[in-house]
Structure 1
């Protein structure tokens, strides 16, 4: 799991918001409780005061955003000022996926792209031919 913090410096003019990627965290238990414990341990390890937390943002997984047993609920129980906001990028990705899946031309196009990916990725020899023939192209699987 990636661990990113965003800080707000209100002493600067204009107010300065900075985001820092800190590290990847090893997670064995992906339940809301397991993820919460990993996050809480990391917050304590880097010396941050949980009472200064004012927001939390995650993907749309129920283990993260769950209102009853998710990470956001568990953090809110400790600090009710740590408001949860769903990740905008994940929301946009969900909207785009739904939009693409409702258009027959888009379904057909991405189906062809997926088949091309499957053809080339199933053989290192074919993958090399692709990379040599079109060096500026990066082909990735649909997800």
Structure 2
């Protein structure tokens, strides 16, 4: 009887509680980070025209389903945390000019123009420098 008093062990129910707590934490992580959210092709809304049909036919990427990277691609929370920790380590500050255009209907279109930090050359050869244009549209 004295042997039982010397080695008190917790009942097996505590192992189940630990397992349930771990399962609950994992469930919350999966739900909050949208790791199980389904992916779907984008819904394109456009006026049917020859140009629209040409663009959709020429750019099949517009109608394909986007499958983001598993962990950080489905959750803006992880992307924000990663950028907050790593994004500003050695990134140069872009210097640009904001432009405003007033549309005929009174709406305002705003865009930024940035100058390149350095020339884009292939293989370090000055005769193979090229112009890189990037256009980002955020409607709404």
Q: TM-score, normalized by length of structure 1?
A: 0.21
Higher share of residues assigned helix? 1
* Structure with bigger gyration radius: 2
Q: TM-score, normalized by length of structure 2?
A: 0.21
Higher share of residues assigned strand? 1
